[in-house]
Structures are given as structure tokens and as C-alpha cells.
């Protein structure tokens, strides 16, 4: 009853104030304010690159640095020189530097949980660029890069076409325990399972470098000689090293021994034009623009997909000369 009377009194008062042209003071309800969106000029991005092992990596690094420059982003770029401990240290340095976000191409898949957790505790999001890491999903916001498994499958499909489903293959594997080496290895075998006359007679790591590719191919040739009819190289650089080894052995690369590699950088196109490489499966290193776009979205609290795949094709010698001038890496 009392409340009823109080309410009536209140409405009478409000009516009176209204007629007098006064407004009662409004209660301020805290609004969910939308924070001002950051622009490229406001952010500091850290990047922990794994090294400089290949033509692919050189193009990748250039893409990251040039894009940052063009967008006016402050980029803290660290190169781990092919060493996981150094790459972990690089992430720690970037945490101390309080960057807004860290991009990293993890050299190998395992061993990242601890340092990624440290970044998370410091409130710094991580984007995996190019290579995945085997960590819990909440330790990174997104993976931007290729489908390495599909690249391996495509390499096997093309190899089957080239050899009529009959081959004695030697395989030059990428860096042991790296995501691209693991998946290119598996994807290739998945398809090979359907071809009983295609056999992998030797498989060893060439660490994604030209020098190691050449050395390992020399060893394969000394051990297996003319038994070898095909080479599957997990990247162009190792294939180019293998081409030198095959020539030194007095054989014709691309003819006596069919060769397929992954990356499709300019060196692979030149080798295809020279008739020494039979196919190149594309893996795109120009990830700079997509990376920074994704990074800014993350910093501004937008939801991003857990995997942003890059678009890729397959190239052959017949139109390599026509395509080469259009290649950006």
C-alpha cells in the first residue's frame, strides 16, 4: 500500500516537472562501449622466423618485411637460424618487448606448449604462419598456411601419371619433425597405397636445403644406381641439389630419372624450362598481406577462422616458360 502511494506521488512529481519543462536527471546505465579500432600504425607485431634455408623461405621473409613496410607497421623480426632453442628465445624476447601479437613459423611441430603458454599468460595472441605446431588449440588463434597433406597427395598423383604407375622412387624428406615434412611424407604414401608398382626404395632427410639434397642424392645414387627411376623432393631446393648430383653421376635429370618437387619457386620453373624437373606442386610463401590482415583482426577482437588456407596450383614444363615471368617468387 505504502509503495503504491509512493509510486503515485512520484508520477505526480514527474508530471509536474514535465509540465514545467524540466527533465528529471537520467540514470546512467553503463553501456558496452565499442573500443576504438586500432589501425596498422598503432600496432607492434613480432615475428619469429625459423631461418633462411630455402628460396621459399627467402620469399616468405621478404613478403613479411615488405608488407609491414607498406602498411606502416612496426615489425620486430627475429631469425632463429634453423634452431628451435633460438626460436623459443625469440618468442620470449618478443614477450618482453610487449608486442601486440606474435607470428611464428615453428621449425618443428613439437615442443611449443610452454612458451606459447607464456605468451598467452602475457596476453599476447599467437598466429602460426606457414607451419603448424602440435599444441592445444587455445594456445594459438589461427593457422595461416598450406595444406601440406594435399601437396603430398598431389605429388603422388602427378608421379603416378608421369610414370604410368610404375616407379622406383627415392624421397628427399624436409626437416625432420617439421609440419611440411611430416604431412608431405604421409600424403604421398596415402595415394601410393593404390599403386602397387610404385615403390619408395629410399627415403632420407635433406633438411630442405640444396646442399643436403645434393649430398643425399649422391648417396642414393651410389647405393641404388640405375634402380632409381624417380625422385620425390619435399621442396625445390633439394630437387635442384639432386639434379646436380644426377648430372654428376652421368644421368639426365627429368629424362632418366623423373623428378617432382614442392614449392614451385622460380628455380623450379627454370629447371622445368631446361627439361630437368617434371612437375612442381605450388606452396605459396607470399603470406605477408594475409598475415597482417589477420593480425589486425585478432588485435581488434574480431573472430577469425582457426585455419586460413593459402591457394595453390600444380605446374608442368609445357607452359613453364610462359608462366615464369608472372611468378613473384
Binding ligand GYE by CB under 6 A: which of 48, 230, 272, 283? 283
Return the number of the residue (57 or 276) whose C-beta is nearest ligand GYE. Answer: 57
The span from the CA of 160 to the CA of 155, in Å, is 9
Report whether 50 contacts 132 (CB < 8 A).
Answer: no
Contacts of 3 by beta carbon, 8 Å cutoff, 6+ apart: none
Q: Using CB under 6 A, count the residues that bind ligand GYE.
A: 13
Closest-CA residue to 100 (of 52, 150, 147, 39): 39
Cβ neighbours around 39 below 10 Å, total: 12
Q: Please tell me whether residue 242 binds ligand GYE under the rule CB under 6 A.
A: no
Binding ligand GYE by CB under 6 A: which of 262, 279, 294, 299? 262
The enclosing H or E element of 282 equals: strand 279-282
**103 alpha-carbon distance from chain centroid:** 10
Residues 43-82 that bind ligand GYE (CB under 6 A): 53-54, 56-57
Binding ligand GYE by CB under 6 A: which of 140, 208, 232, 292? 208
The span from the CA of 155 to the CA of 284, in Å, is 15
**Smallest gap, in angstroms, from Cβ of residue 83 to ligand GYE?**
14
Return the number of the residue (53 or 109) whose C-beta is nearest ligand GYE. Answer: 53
Q: Please tell me whether residue 106 binds ligand GYE under the rule CB under 6 A.
A: no
Binding ligand GYE by CB under 6 A: which of 131, 132, 212, 276? 131
Q: Please tell me whether residue 263 binds ligand GYE under the rule CB under 6 A.
A: yes
Q: Please tell me whether residue 157 binds ligand GYE under the rule CB under 6 A.
A: no
Q: Please tell me whether residue 210 binds ligand GYE under the rule CB under 6 A.
A: no
Q: Please tell me whether residue 207 binds ligand GYE under the rule CB under 6 A.
A: no
Strand partners, 199: 168
Q: Please tell me whether residue 291 binds ligand GYE under the rule CB under 6 A.
A: no
Report whether 101 contacts 293 (CB < 8 A).
Answer: no
The span from the CA of 279 to the CA of 313, in Å, is 11
Q: Please tell me whether residue 87 binds ligand GYE under the rule CB under 6 A.
A: no
Instruction: Give helix 236-248 / helix 266-273 axis angle, nearest 10°.
Output: 40
Q: Which residues bind ligand GYE (CB under 6 A)?
A: 53-54, 56-57, 130-131, 180, 208, 235, 237, 262-263, 283
Amino acid at each position: 500500500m505504502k509503495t503504491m502511494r509512493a509510486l503515485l506521488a512520484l508520477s505526480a512529481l514527474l508530471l509536474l516537472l514535465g509540465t514545467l519543462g524540466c527533465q528529471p536527471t537520467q540514470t546512467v546505465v553503463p553501456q558496452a562501449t565499442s573500443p576504438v579500432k586500432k589501425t596498422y600504425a598503432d600496432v607492434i607485431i613480432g615475428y619469429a622466423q625459423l631461418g633462411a634455408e630455402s628460396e621459399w623461405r627467402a620469399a616468405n621473409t621478404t613478403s613479411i618485411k615488405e608488407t609491414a613496410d607498406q602498411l606502416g607497421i612496426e615489425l620486430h623480426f627475429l631469425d632463429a637460424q634453423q634452431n628451435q632453442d633460438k626460436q623459443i628465445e625469440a618468442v620470449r624476447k618478443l614477450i618482453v618487448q610487449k608486442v601486440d601479437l606474435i607470428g611464428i613459423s615453428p621449425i618443428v611441430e613439437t615442443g611449443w606448449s610452454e612458451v606459447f603458454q607464456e605468451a598467452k599468460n602475457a596476453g599476447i595472441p599467437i598466429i602460426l604462419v606457414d607451419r603448424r605446431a602440435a599444441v592445444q588449440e587455445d594456445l594459438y588463434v589461427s593457422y595461416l598456411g598450406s595444406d601440406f597433406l594435399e601437396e603430398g597427395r598431389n605429388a603422388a598423383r602427378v608421379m603416378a601419371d608421369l610414370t604410368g604407375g610404375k616407379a622406383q622412387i627415392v624421397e628427399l624428406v624436409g626437416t625432420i619433425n617439421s609440419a611440411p615434412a611430416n604431412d608431405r611424407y604421409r600424403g604421398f604414401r596415402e595415394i601410393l597405397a593404390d599403386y602397387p608398382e610404385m615403390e619408395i626404395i629410399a627415403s632420407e632427410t635433406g633438411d630442405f636445403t640444396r646442399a643436403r639434397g645434393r649430398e643425399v642424392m649422391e648417396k642414393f645414387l651410389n647405393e641404388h644406381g640405375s634402380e632409381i627411376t624417380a625422385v620425390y623432393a619435399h621442396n625445390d631446393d633439394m630437387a635442384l641439389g639432386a639434379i646436380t648430383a644426377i648430372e654428376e653421376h652421368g644421368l639426365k635429370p627429368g629424362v632418366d630419372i623423373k623428378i617432382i618437387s614442392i614449392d614451385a619457386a622460380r628455380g623450379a620453373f627454370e629447371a622445368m624450362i631446361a627439361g630437368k624437373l617434371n612437375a612442381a606442386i605450388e606452396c605459396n610463401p607470399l603470406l605477408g598481406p594475409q598475415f597482417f590482415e589477420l593480425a589486425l583482426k585478432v588485435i581488434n577482437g574480431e573472430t577469425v577462422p582457426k585455419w586460413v588456407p593459402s591457394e595453390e596450383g600444380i605446374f608442368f614444363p609445357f607452359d613453364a616458360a610462359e608462366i615464369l615471368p608472372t611468378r613473384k617468387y
